[in-house]
Every structure is written in C-alpha cells, then in structure tokens.
Structure 1
Amino acid sequence: MTDRKQELAANLAKVEERIAAACAAAGRHREEVTLIVVTKTYPADDVRILSELGVRHVAENRDQDAAPKAAACSDLPLSWHFVGQLQTNKVRSVVGYADVVQSVDRARLVTALSKEAVRAGREVGCLLQVALDAGESGRASGGEGSSLDGRRREAGGRGGVPPEGIEELADLVAGAEGLRLDGLMTVAPLTGEYAGRQQAAFERVMDLSTRMRRTHPAANMVSAGMSADLEQAVAAGATHVRVGTAVLGVRPRLG
C-alpha cells in the first residue's frame, strides 16, 4: 500500500468513526447517512485511491477541474456530485458527468439543466441549495426572468434560494424534463440568525425538507454538514454529509 493510500485509508477510518458515533448518539442507523468525499483541488489519482477504499460518492465544485477528472475516472463505480455555484454556460459540461447537482438555486438554472439533460439523454438529480442567511446582503438586485431569481440574489455570494422560494423552485424542478427532484442542500451560514449555530441551521433545513416532502414525497435527501460540523448535521437528521479536508487533508492553495 502506498503512503498516500495509507494516509487516505486512515483518514477515512477516522471519519467513519465520527459518523458512526454521531449516528449512535442520535439513535440513527449508520446506513442512514451517506458519505460524499469532496475531492476538489485533488488529482484523479486520489479519486482512484478513494474508489479502491470503497468510496462511492465524490463531489466537485469547479467544472474546469471536475470535467477532466471525471473523464479520467469514468471507469470507476462512482456517483459524481456537483456542489459549487453553477453558471449556465457550464451546464452542458456538468450534465456530461454529474449524477446530482446539489446547488440548484434559480429558475434559469433549472431551464438550462433540463435542456442539457434532455439533449444528453440523462436524468440528473437536483438538490435545492437553501440559503438560511438570505437577505443579509441587502435588497435584491433584480431577477433573471423570475421572482425566484430575484429572491435568490438576496442569498449572498455562496448562492442558494431563501426558504420562501423553495416551494416554487421545487415545483419547477419536479416538472422539468430530464431532472429529478432529490431534496435539499445547505451550508452552515456565516451570517444571520444561524451564524455559529450549525445544528439549529441544519434542523431548520430538516423542517423545510419535511414541508417540501408533503408535495414531493420522494425528495427525501438532505445534504448538510462538512468536516467541521458533520456531527451536528447527523444529529439534525441529514442523509448525506460532504467531507473533504478530514479525508484528503488541508487543500492546496488555488492559483
């Protein structure tokens, strides 16, 4: 076993212990939580090692890095998740490899994803990215052709739809050809009433998920929690956690 494989195996084991302990503390079965390893900035060689170690879900946030990496690893039994803010001019490329887009936050993006999914003959899973700090950046700066887009612009630089926009956007995804509404995603907010209160933030998203599932019962995925706060996400009820640094190490600085 190479040094890097030993390192990743050890890190994965530690993360697995954390998830298992969090599940036990929350009275949940370990099988209820899926680990997604965020491989952004790391090479295809690391993705290949992770696959050998049993990882089945990986995530990327920049198409220019993800597309060649996914192509290099196309022989592996992996599900690829796109978790970054997605520009519409990148949608065609992302649809080529992403099984799930976790950062759906506006109507124009839904339209673009649907068009490219149909063109590619694929079904793409979609999570609505929820911004619990929506409004903190000030008033909306206009829309992209929909009231949804205007509200989304209030959500700050990391993207996301505010809670009051979920129902409309969920209906749009559910009715879009080539797309599948899978659930919700969030990042613990840095501003607003939930800043520094990760578990409360995640519990709020679980409440929003419960509400959305009254209309869309199959959309039961909740992606929340990262290396620093996966325990709080598991305690709140998240079905998926996105862990990067705790598995792969401190990230190289991007040029």
Structure 2
Amino acid sequence: MSKADLSKQPAQVSAMFDDVSTHYDRTNNVLSVGNAFLWRVATTKAVEPEWGERILDLAAGTGTSSASLAKSGAQVVAADFSPGMIEVGKRQQAGNPRVEFVVADGMNLPFDDDEFDAVTISFGLRNIVEPRVALAELYRVTKPGGRIVICEFSTPPITPIRLGYSLYLQRVMPGLAKVASSNPAAYTYLAESIKDWPNQQTLSRWLRETGFTHVGYRNLTAGIVALHRGTKPEIAPAATAAASPETALPQSAAASATQ
C-alpha cells in the first residue's frame, strides 16, 4: 500500500490516491462524521454555479463535488492527478453529460488562459508540493471577473476545539481508517498534512499575493475546515494598487449548519 509523506512527491501522492480510490467517498463520510456532505453543500453555494458556465473542479477525486456543481446546469471539468480516482469517477458519473474528467497536474494545468468562469479545489491544495504555484495556475485559467473557492482543512481558532481535533487526528482517526479505508496508512499522511498546513490568514495572504481580490474566508465546523473565496480582477493587478482587505463571507443555511 502506498503512503505519501510531507515532501508530497507527485508520484507518491498519485499512487496513494490510486490506492484509496475505490472506497474514497465512503471513507470520507466516516472520517468526517458525516460533515463531508455539509462541506460540499457549503462549497457549491459559495461557487454559485450558473447554467452554461464552465467551471474547473481541481482535485475532484471521484467527481462527487463536480456532480454537485453540475446540478446548476454548469459544465464542469473534474481534474485530478490520480488516474485511479478519475477512473472511479468516470464510472460513477457515466450518465452525467455535464461532468468531464481530465487527468491534470495542479502545477501545470492543461487549459488555456482565462478559460473558466469559476475554479474550485476541495481538500486538495495541501496535497500539492508547491501550493502557491497551483494558485498561480488557477489564477491563470480563471476569466477576468471569475471567482475561486477553496475548501480546505484549517486551524480551529478556539483552543479547546483545536486540542480536541488534534487528539482526534492522532488517536481516533487511525482506528476509523482501519475499518473504512482500503489503505489506512494513507490516512496517517492525512493527519500529518493537516497539522502541517498553514492557518486561514496565511492562505488568505497567498490568494491576495497571487492577484485575487475580494479575498475572504469563513470557518466551517468551528474552523476544522475553512472556506476561502476570491475574485480575479477585471483589470490587470498592477492597476489595483490597493489590495482588497480580507472580507467576511455571507452566511448561508448550509454553511451555518456546519459551524
């Protein structure tokens, strides 16, 4: 069984996700204690997909998130670095003409400049060896005026919750992974990558430095997960000398349910 480490070598990461692809969605539901569905609903609402839009769902895995976005009538490209995930996704979404699967490297996307009305990535940015390179690629393929939404594990701001979550990652999750996953060793990497990932303010800063404006984030499930959002400006970044301050995102019923 494959297990990546925090060097996040692409071949290791791809092989690890190939190994877990068959039971990936089931394992996510178990390890998130049912919150995976709520996070997906919140992410879809934040993207605000509209009929006829072209949306990139990077690190789409088996395409569950892509199918949620496509319900709006948008055309969704489900891109992932793991061929195993893509194959499972193609089978699961075989009857969905609005979801197209593509094997893609997040640091070298095979798409044209300004191609997508919106781009999104859920629980995948921290698995990329150079996440800021991936952000630059997502910026490149987003149309001016288009939007980015990132759903990622983060740092709970309340100390007791942060300590309790750390205990869950170290003690509880490995046992659940043994029951639910085809490759429980991979979920040791999951815990390590979450603990190593920067906090909400740092990812917000990365988005602004990439060029996105109107950057903001909202904590879900008490900050275990954070939902980040930004916009690619209609004009060149050099003309927007004053960087947009971090803004609070509006609440939605689905998002409130996860807090």
What TM-score bracket applies, with the shorter chain setting the length?
0.3 to 0.5
Report the TM-score, using the length of structure 2 for normalisation: 0.33
The structure carrying a bigger strand percent of its residues is 2
